[in-house]
Amino acid sequence: MKNQTLLFLSILFCTLSIYSQAPRGFYAFAGFDQTELKSSDLLTDPNLGFLLGLNFQMGYHETYNYQLELTYRSNSMNVKYVENDFNEAKDSKFNASSLNLGLYFNYYILKPEEDEFFIGPQVGVFAAFHDAFTPARGADVTGQYYLPHLLDESDLTNSSKFNYGFGAGLTGGYNNFRFDLRYSLGMANLLSDIETDSYDETHTYTGPALEGKTNTLIFGISYNIFHPKK
């Protein structure tokens, strides 16, 4: 009798754990983002971009799970410049796309259940590989000097490629649909490899060391394209 009771409780526990888990599986992911370069050494304004990717929801608990995310983000920014006459500051559009890998922890205040809306906070870390800053297609960058250090286009293509940081926001959804609203703070200096025209007679760089870090706001919607069979 004791063994039968234990068997019954085991089956009941497994059944409840299967049907009360946070949604798992692979999701197709798309949305919008805006990346700002926080810097006093390169004056920029962010533009609205888009993102595409996949995320994988994993974990077996009813109130939390883990989200592994791979996204391609197409971004651009307006960079302030002056021309040879130095009379007026203008904007030139540069692309700044990236490939991002993130790992996030989702905690559900409203638990995921069938035909029920769920939502909760999200925190995690990311790593990103950035394209160098490049002029947008068709942009004429001849005779432009980017403020405040009067850099030229060839200087900007030396921007650093790797970024990493932290993200926090909200996640939620309904059945097979999910959403993520997240603010990410980049920790790497993307301007560390850019130098001004300041060298001594031995061609040693005399500074200054430029600094620029990113912060990004994203909103994405994902749909479950594959989930483990129950």
pLDDT of residue 202: 83
Token pair for residue 53? Answer: 């990717």
Q: Given a cut of 70, is residue 42 above it in pLDDT?
A: yes
Amino acid (1-letter code) at residue 56:
F
Mean pLDDT for the stretch of residues 205-215: 90
**Res 217: pLDDT:** 97
Secondary structure of residue 212 in the 3-state scheme:
coil
In this structure, the chain runs to a length of 230
Q: Which CATH architecture has domain 2-226?
A: Beta Barrel (2.40)
Segment 52-60 mean pLDDT: 92
Which pTM was predicted? 0.84
Q: Give per-residue pLDDT as tens, 88-119.
A: 899 999 998 999 999 999 999 998 887 789 99
In the three-class reduction of DSSP (H, G, I as helix; E, B as strand; rest coil), residue 3 is classed as helix
**161: pLDDT confidence band, cut at 50, 70 and 90?**
confident
Mean pLDDT of the chain: 87
Say which residue the tokens 């700002």 belong to.
Answer: 36
Under 8 Å CB-to-CB from 7, ≥6 apart: which residues? none
CB atoms inside a 10 Å sphere around CB 56? 14
Average pLDDT over residues 62-67: 91
The band of 199, judged by pLDDT with boundaries at 50, 70 and 90, is confident
Q: What proportion of the chain, given as a percentage, has pLDDT over 70?
A: 90
Q: In sequence order, which residues have a C-beta less than 8 Å from that of residue 172 and are 6 or more positions away? A: 108, 110, 117, 118, 119, 120, 178, 179
Q: Quote the pLDDT of residue 19.
A: 43
Give the C-alpha distances (Å, rounded to integers) separating 55 from 25, 28, 101, 181.
Answer: 8, 7, 10, 14
pLDDT tens, residue by residue, 11-22 = 433 443 444 456
Q: Which residue has the higher pLDDT, 1 or 110?
A: 110
Query: What is the spatial distance between Cα 49 and Cα 166, in angstroms, rounded to a whole number?
Result: 20
